[in-house]
Structure 1
């Protein structure tokens, strides 16, 4: 019987190619691992049930990876720790697994690795290639915050290994994914037991956590100006490479976009004709967002006049797009349509890094520089919405942010009471006069 955790499910690109009617396409080392467990654990049957569950979430690679991470941990825990069949887990087991996830043993924790399995073969992958376990892989990972990693990089130091800690929103996600699996498993006739996670679902620690403020994750006007000016300088110095970078930065910031909004989805890719002008002369950007919901985001006129026209001129296109234009919104330098989210993150990370260097050269206070080290693509969305909340109505901002709930927009970007509370506490002395 196996004694240590082992990756059971392959990356999304290979998972979607499996034959879900049998186990013919599974890696032999995975099947050997599963067969090493005693028959009462029903390891193969449990694996197939989880595989059917993950197939439901395989249309989106990011969603698949998130669900795979949490349900795979539960499956391994049931075999190695609880030593029970997955179908037989009780509410007490569910509670113990959640506690385990919060403080896993060192043997279950490792660094973030790119590959779960290592291919044995030539440079070009073939069906006959074999795969071995990446010995460094572990179910849980040490993670280092972006600021710490950037500081270590600037000082040419190794990144310090932080102790494992599960974020509060991750606790909620573990509960949600595992609960969803057992709801699926009942309908799939894999188990006839009560959903063990639903049975403990009333505990407040497992309910959704509402983020009430993003001020700490937004840039100041000074920091944003450094970022924008840096991108403009990069575009002037190397237009072939960085006119596109400036366009991406301005596009995401101007319309509060998520990276998926400019990368696209399986059934939708953004094109230049995603921009359109209505009968009143206002510009809009048509997007398919989270949950495959279509939406129209209003576009600032300055963005159209300055950044969209500039980039299209660089591409030798007419200044404004037409309704029937099929030019992709973004393309590689070789002309292939579309960019991956990873590619976009790398491009904008270069802007953030150079903005940090420019702030250092300008002798800006270290704490302001330090905040920029943590900047991410989502920071742009928060920053722009924070700036605009001072002049736009909550209803209009909600529509363009595409928040389902008005309270999300109001609590996040219109929380003036918090500022009033902070101001009322300033100037009060700790040492009292006698």
Structure 2
């Protein structure tokens, strides 16, 4: 066979030359780990810990799947990729578990569902399947670029057209409207009146209320409050005016001082009181911002806070459906904790027209921001935050 082939452009291509990979990996598992362990030019990890963990979960599923085919990453075909996507839509029941187990354990399962899951229900949502395919495409693009595989079998994989349109809608509209916030406050108020003599239910309600207020009135990222503690809160006086500020560590390990308004502090006090704790936390005794219902152990899981938030949103949506407000219900059901950050920024920009101040408060990575504010800068930002909180209260309560 002639090793040379002439293309339509008359440029010869050699097929008998072996391409040496640019990575030293003797197995698929090692190749995947090299992808996950990439570093930036400054030597920092390319992927944040949470992102890395999520990627690794998707790759473990892929490696399990190809091992069931007795193939390697290099041997995957387009048909194999289609089979993997079909498997994501309907995993074998033998591979579905109800609790997370360490990878490599005898009872490890590539798919984990909640205890109330019933056979026949989807294991992964369309959005999760879309994310899985996108993540694996990225892995194969990298493996191809370093010469470990010759092509990307997932390159032609597409998610359902309607699902992609829904995802595009969510990306463009990831902020709650004032009317949504009004609905949520109304539900919290109604539930508080209804549950006034149920101590456990009230503790749960106060936790939901605190979570909602904490993120809506601060613009914090979900992880920034979870990995922080109450010692980060400080009361200071600027020009005879008392202010509250919080020290946080943002993306990329960047420190920041952020002002927080009265509704944030008041909701925290009410939540702590419901647990039998002193309303005002001590700066000398660090405590987590969220606890179990008994108040005996900290809640530091993103998934736990996500479930708390979604539980509240579902109650609000059910109430709206009963009132015939289906559009509002659908939007609230689609929301996540991160939407509260977008809501904070959106309301702030519309209200103050001070893009610079909102950029500082949001700490967007593409804005050159002074992270160590002096007291006068903090006072200016505090006025912006207070105006946002007043606007929300004036238009929702």
Matched, 1:260 2:223: yes
- Are the aligned partners of 1:235 and 1:246 in contact in 2 as well (CA < 8 Å)? no
Distance 1:260 1:403 in 2: 15
- Are the structure 2 counterparts of residues 389 and 132 from structure 1 closer, same or farther at C-alpha, using a change threshold of 3 Å? same
Matched, 1:221 2:181: no
The counterpart of 1:368, out of the listed 315, 318, 328, is 328
Give the unaligned 5+ runs of structure 2.
1-23, 39-44, 156-167, 196-200, 369-397
Distance 2:91 2:269 in 1: 41
User: Residues 150-189 of structure 1 correspond to what in structure 2 (within 5 A)?
Assistant: 173-180=135-142
User: Residues 28-67 of structure 1 correspond to what in structure 2 (within 5 A)?
Assistant: 45-51=27-33, 53-54=35-36, 60-67=49-56
Distance 1:116 1:307 in 2: 43
- Are the structure 2 counterparts of residues 55 and 405 from structure 1 closer, same or farther at C-alpha, using a change threshold of 3 Å? closer
Look up the match of 1:69: 58
Report the alpha carbon displacement of residue 251 of structure 1 after superposing the two structures with TM. Answer: 0.3
Look up the match of 1:301: 262
The counterpart of 2:364, out of the listed 374, 394, 403, is 403
CA deviation vs aligned residue, 1:304-341 (integer Å, no higher than 9, x gap): 3x323323443455554443231221221331123422
- Are the structure 2 counterparts of residues 258 and 360 from structure 1 closer, same or farther at C-alpha, using a change threshold of 3 Å? same
- Are the structure 2 counterparts of residues 225 and 163 from structure 1 closer, same or farther at C-alpha, using a change threshold of 3 Å? closer
- Are the structure 2 counterparts of residues 343 and 105 from structure 1 closer, same or farther at C-alpha, using a change threshold of 3 Å? closer
Look up the match of 2:235: 277
Normalised by the length of structure 1, the TM-score is 0.55
Distance 2:232 2:174 in 1: 29
Look up the match of 1:7: none
- Are the aligned partners of 1:67 and 1:177 in contact in 2 as well (CA < 8 Å)? no
Report the alpha carbon displacement of residue 360 of structure 1 after superposing the two structures with TM. Answer: 3.5
- Are the structure 2 counterparts of residues 53 and 106 from structure 1 closer, same or farther at C-alpha, using a change threshold of 3 Å? closer
Distance 1:163 1:373 in 2: 14
CA deviation vs aligned residue, 1:186-227 (integer Å, no higher than 9, x gap): 6xxxxxx489789xx9xxxxxxxxx89955332222221111
Distance 2:336 2:306 in 1: 8
Distance 2:251 2:232 in 1: 17
- Are the aligned partners of 2:219 and 2:361 in contact in 1 as well (CA < 8 Å)? yes
Where 1:257 maps in the other structure, the secondary structure is coil
Look up the match of 1:247: 210
Look up the match of 1:292: 253
- Are the structure 2 counterparts of residues 368 and 169 from structure 1 closer, same or farther at C-alpha, using a change threshold of 3 Å? same
User: Residues 353-432 of structure 1 correspond to what in structure 2 (within 5 A)?
Assistant: 353-361=314-322, 363-392=323-352, 393-406=354-367
Look up the match of 1:144: none
Where 1:354 maps in the other structure, the secondary structure is helix
Distance 2:230 2:326 in 1: 40
- Are the aligned partners of 1:252 and 1:258 in contact in 2 as well (CA < 8 Å)? yes
Where 2:27 maps in the other structure, the secondary structure is helix
Distance 1:168 1:357 in 2: 27
Report the alpha carbon displacement of residue 250 of structure 1 after superposing the two structures with TM. Answer: 0.7
Distance 1:132 1:301 in 2: 49
The counterpart of 2:89, out of the listed 110, 116, 122, is 110
Query: After alignment, is 345-354 or 293-302 more displaced?
Result: 293-302
Distance 1:389 1:163 in 2: 33
Report the alpha carbon displacement of residue 346 of structure 1 after superposing the two structures with TM. Answer: 2.0
CA deviation vs aligned residue, 1:10-56 (integer Å, no higher than 9, x gap): xxxxxxxxxxxxxxxxxxxxxxxxxxxxxxxx996333343455467
Look up the match of 1:327: 287
Report the alpha carbon displacement of residue 404 of structure 1 after superposing the two structures with TM. Answer: 0.7
CA deviation vs aligned residue, 1:62-94 (integer Å, no higher than 9, x gap): 42221452586489669969x6774xx9xxx9x
Distance 2:96 2:232 in 1: 40
Report the alpha carbon displacement of residue 367 of structure 1 after superposing the two structures with TM. Answer: 2.2
Distance 1:165 1:212 in 2: 13
Normalised by the length of structure 2, the TM-score is 0.59
- Are the structure 2 counterparts of residues 54 and 163 from structure 1 closer, same or farther at C-alpha, using a change threshold of 3 Å? closer
Distance 1:163 1:350 in 2: 17
The counterpart of 1:350, out of the listed 311, 321, 340, is 311
- Are the structure 2 counterparts of residues 349 and 276 from structure 1 closer, same or farther at C-alpha, using a change threshold of 3 Å? same
- Are the aligned partners of 2:58 and 2:132 in contact in 1 as well (CA < 8 Å)? no
Distance 2:125 2:235 in 1: 52
